[in-house]
């Protein structure tokens, strides 16, 4: 995959291309951004361009021997450390060091990608630092990180740092339409809910569990506007079952209240995030007052904060549900 297949990140990509064209690439890079933003995809595209034997336009040509080997995953001049959910230990870095002393075989460079480099132990980072202090002239090391603050300052100071920006909603919609050519009815909602993170949008699009969670959360919000107090405690079961996904539940509820507020204030469906639920929103908006919606949003945010501060989970949720219901009794 080349740069052309990456959606967004134009300024960043132009900068990387320019460094290749002008033969001014650094020896080490940090690509940082939230999980799912596309750091690994960009690192791979950059690696392919660096390994290309032509380097025309700062892109991989796709036809030279290094490019063809890169596409099949068989080029020995690319070394990847990706331990998945596990940490990156000193032995992983020593393997890199053992490889980096060998000159490239097919390309003029050797490229090293350390995925989720913020998972390196302190010992591993100190080990890598020795290589960063005196790297071979042909080596380029690319670190992808979600939290650059977990890296030693001495490592950060020896690298070129790029931060990936979140994609716009139209860009995410475009990505989803390319990925799901048969159409995706809720692409607009997924794009908005993903917060501009394409990887998250891709996960949501294929998650039946997420959409069931969303439907239930919205159902509870609507029922709170007209149920008896005893039903509040029945509703708690849903929050107990989805305790591990409570942040997602809160996000769903907040966006639904946000749409109710928009519909109440404007009467329009054009600005709704839950655009595929517009009929439900417009049919029920009369049950909610603007002050009540604002108080409900504040209540949910306070509950999220309380839970993060280790206030009793069940008590926090039950109090939240009672407060939400009080706005509509």
**CA nearest to 51, candidates 128, 105, 90, 119:** 105
Tell me the whole-structure pTM to 2 decimals.
Answer: 0.83
DSSP string, 213-229: HHHHHHHHHHHTTT--T
DSSP 120: B
Q: Under CATH, which number does the domain 207-326 receive?
A: 1.20.272.10
Whether the CB-CB separation of 6 and 14 falls below 8 Å is answered with: no
Could you give the angle at the alpha carbon of 120 between the alpha carbons of 152 and 90, nearest 5°?
105
Q: State the average pLDDT for the chain.
A: 91
Q: Which CATH class for the 3-163 domain? A: alpha beta
| Predicted local confidence at residue 181, as pLDDT | 65
Has residue 316 got a pLDDT over 60?
yes
* Tokens of residue 79, six digits: 């070394």
Could you give the angle at the alpha carbon of 248 between the alpha carbons of 314 and 318, nearest 5°?
20
Q: Within the chain, which residue ranges are assigned CATH 1.20.272.10? A: 207-326
Indicate the pLDDT class of residue 182, thresholds 50, 70 and 90: low
| Predicted local confidence at residue 287, as pLDDT | 87
| pLDDT one-digit tens code per residue, 229-279 | 556 777 899 999 999 999 999 999 999 999 999 999 887 788 888 988 999
**CB-hemisphere CA count at 13 Å for 162?**
25
**CB-hemisphere CA count at 13 Å for 274?**
24
184 Cβ contact list (under 8 Å, min separation 6): 176, 177, 190, 205
Distances in whole angstroms, Cα of residue 305 to Cα of each of 195, 246, 250, 317, 320: 20, 12, 11, 12, 12
Whether the CB-CB separation of 192 and 205 falls below 8 Å is answered with: no
Average pLDDT over residues 320-326: 89
* Tokens of residue 110, six digits: 């050797």
* Tokens of residue 148, six digits: 């650059």
Q: Within the chain, which residue ranges are assigned CATH 3.40.50.300? A: 3-163
188 Cβ contact list (under 8 Å, min separation 6): 169, 173, 273, 275, 276
Decide which of 226 and 4 is more confident.
4
* Tokens of residue 304, six digits: 């999220």
- Rounded Cα distance, 277 and 260, in Å: 11
Crossing angle of helices 39-51 and 10-21, in 10° steps, is: 20
Alpha helices in the chain (DSSP H): 10-21, 39-51, 65-72, 90-100, 122-133, 153-156, 169-179, 187-193, 198-205, 208-223, 230-241, 246-266, 278-284, 290-308, 313-326
Indicate the pLDDT class of residue 159, thresholds 50, 70 and 90: very high
């Amino acid at each position: 995959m080349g740069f052309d297949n990456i959606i967004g990140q134009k300024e960043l990509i132009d900068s990387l291309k320019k460094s290749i064209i002008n033969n001014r690439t650094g020896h080490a890079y940090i690509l940082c951004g939230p999980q799912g933003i596309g750091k690994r995809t960009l690192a791979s595209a950059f690696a392919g361009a660096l390994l290309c034997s032509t380097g025309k336009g700062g892109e991989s040509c796709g036809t030279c021997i290094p490019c063809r080997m890169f596409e099949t995953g068989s080029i020995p001049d690319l070394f990847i450390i990706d331990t998945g959910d596990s940490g990156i230990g000193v032995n992983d870095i020593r393997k890199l060091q053992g490889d980096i002393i060998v000159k490239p075989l097919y390309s003029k460079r050797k490229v090293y990608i350390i995925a989720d480099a913020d998972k390196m132990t302190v010992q591993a980072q100190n080990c890598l630092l020795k290589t960063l202090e005196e790297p071979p002239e042909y080596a380029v090391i690319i670190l992808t990180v979600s939290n650059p603050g977990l890296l030693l300052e001495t490592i950060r100071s020896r690298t070129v740092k790029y931060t990936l920006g979140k994609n716009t909603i139209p860009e995410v919609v475009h990505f989803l339409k390319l990925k799901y050519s048969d159409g995706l009815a809720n692409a607009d909602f997924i794009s908005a809910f993903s917060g501009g993170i394409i990887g998250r949008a891709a996960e949501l699009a294929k998650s039946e569990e997420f959409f069931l969670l969303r439907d239930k959360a919205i159902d509870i919000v609507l029922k709170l506007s007209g149920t008896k107090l005893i039903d509040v405690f029945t509703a708690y079961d849903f929050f107990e079952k989805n305790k591990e996904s409570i942040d997602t539940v809160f996000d769903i509820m907040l966006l639904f209240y946000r749409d109710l507020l928009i519909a109440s204030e404007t009467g329009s469906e054009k600005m709704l995030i839950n655009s595929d639920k517009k009929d439900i929103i417009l049919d029920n908006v009369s049950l909610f007052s603007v002050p009540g919606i604002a108080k409900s949003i504040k209540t949910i945010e306070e509950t999220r904060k309380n839970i993060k501060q280790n206030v009793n989970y069940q008590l926090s949720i039950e109090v939240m549900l009672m407060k939400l219901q009080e706005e509509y009794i």
